[in-house]
Chain A
Amino acid sequence: MVTTVTERQTGTWEDVFSTQAGAVYQCDAESCWYINFAGKVAKFDYRCLQKLKKAVYHIDIEAKLLDSSKDPDVEIIFICACDHTYILTLLQIIELKELLQGTFVMLQLNNILHDKLYRTAV
């Protein structure tokens, strides 16, 4: 499920990763993430976040950059992750990919922390 929210509603969001272009927060209480990007804050559950990741990672940015038949500045890309759609320029795609890559590295780091600190029998 994805819902667009206009502002931060509770104080229980934790920063996961942020760039100049956007930020990702995790909400433990709701078991979800909030992505602030392209002028809106959207809520993603586990499934939807995976879908978004897959969709963004599968865009061949290099091919689009080399495609001289079109003006790259006006490239519009639709990303459907559950019932949520982003319409982005190529530059925004690069920014979103960077944001997600950082996010998944941080989530992986969080996984390592949990494994090392809480899940390992001493």
Chain B
Amino acid sequence: MKDLIRIKSLLSTEVEDLLNQQVKKEALSSSIYLAMASWCNRNGFDYSSEYFFKQAEEERHHQLKFYKYILDMGGNAISPEVTGIKQEYNSFREVFEDALEQEISVTQSIKKIYARCLNEQDYVTNEFLNWFLKEQREEEYKARRALELFEIIGEEGTGSWEIDKHVGKIKYDSEAN
């Protein structure tokens, strides 16, 4: 009897499901960042708005990377429905708190897929995920750095204007990279 299932796809049903969930998660991230870009723009934080526009584009790129991997491996990539995006924020700071929270949750879900793949010895997918693990280092670093500006500079007086200006300069160029 032929091993028909393995012939058709490299991915197990479970891993394929998890990867599709991640496609949705990246799409969600992209939409969240887009909403943040809008809020910052409307409230006069131009550098931050630009920063979030860039992040939104990156997340879209992540989404497509997962999407194409699923297809390349013989799986079924599902175009996700994205709803319930928060459009309004109570403060400038809250935007960045949410951004970091979102990145942490993405890191956690990639770790979950990684663990599952190790469990079933799907080293091929693990290798694919390595790129994302490294990417999350940068993503969390940048989000954390942005939030730290609120501690260092403070929002009083021209503080938020100063914070906004610095957000545009955040870069991850550590030696660890």
Binding site for B on A (CB under 8 A): 14, 16, 26, 28, 31, 33, 46-47, 50, 53-54, 107, 110-111, 114
B3: CB under 8 A from chain A?
yes
B13: CB under 8 A from chain A?
yes
Sorted from nearest, which 6 A-B pairs have the closest CB atoms?
A114-B3, A46-B8, A28-B2, A14-B1, A111-B3, A111-B6
Q: Is the CB of B5 within 8 A of A46?
A: yes
Residues of A close to B3: CB separation below 8 A: 110-111, 114
A–B complex contacts, Cβ < 8 Å, 17 sampled: A14-B1, A26-B1, A26-B4, A28-B1, A28-B4, A31-B4, A31-B7, A46-B5, A46-B9, A47-B76, A50-B13, A53-B13, A107-B4, A111-B5, A111-B6, A114-B3, A114-B6
The digit string for B83-98, where 1 denotes a CB below 8 A from any CB of A, is 0000000000000000
The digit string for B1-36, where 1 denotes a CB below 8 A from any CB of A, is 111111111000100000000000000000000000
- Could you count the A-B residue pairs with CB atoms below 8 Å apart for me: how many are there? 30
Q: Is the CB of B5 within 8 A of A107?
A: yes
Interface residues of B in 62-85 (CB under 8 A from A): 76
Residues of B close to A50: CB separation below 8 A: 13, 76
Bound complex: CA of A53 vs CA of B13, how far in Å? Answer: 10
Q: Is the CB of A31 within 8 A of B2?
A: yes
- Closest approach, in angstroms, between the C-beta of A82 and any C-beta of chain B? 12
Bound complex: CA of A28 vs CA of B5, how far in Å? Answer: 11
Residues of B close to A16: CB separation below 8 A: 1
Residues of B close to A110: CB separation below 8 A: 1, 3
- Closest approach, in angstroms, between the C-beta of A67 and any C-beta of chain B? 26
Residues of A close to B5: CB separation below 8 A: 46, 107, 111
Bound complex: CA of A54 vs CA of B5, how far in Å? Answer: 15
Residues of B close to A47: CB separation below 8 A: 76
Bound complex: CA of A14 vs CA of B1, how far in Å? Answer: 7
Residue of B nearest to A32 (CB): B4
Bound complex: CA of A54 vs CA of B2, how far in Å? Answer: 22
Bound complex: CA of A119 vs CA of B146, how far in Å? Answer: 51
Residue of A nearest to B9 (CB): A46
Which of B7, B8, B76 gathers most chain A CB within 10 Å? B8
Residues of A close to B76: CB separation below 8 A: 47, 50
Residue of A nearest to B2 (CB): A28
Bound complex: CA of A110 vs CA of B8, how far in Å? Answer: 14
Residues of B close to A28: CB separation below 8 A: 1-2, 4
- Closest approach, in angstroms, between the C-beta of B133 and any C-beta of chain A? 27
- Closest approach, in angstroms, between the C-beta of A72 and any C-beta of chain B? 29
With A28-B1, A114-B6 known, 20 other A-B pairs at CB within 8 A are A14-B1, A16-B1, A26-B1, A28-B2, A28-B4, A31-B2, A31-B4, A31-B7, A46-B4, A46-B5, A46-B8, A46-B9, A50-B13, A50-B76, A54-B13, A107-B4, A110-B3, A111-B3, A111-B5, A111-B6
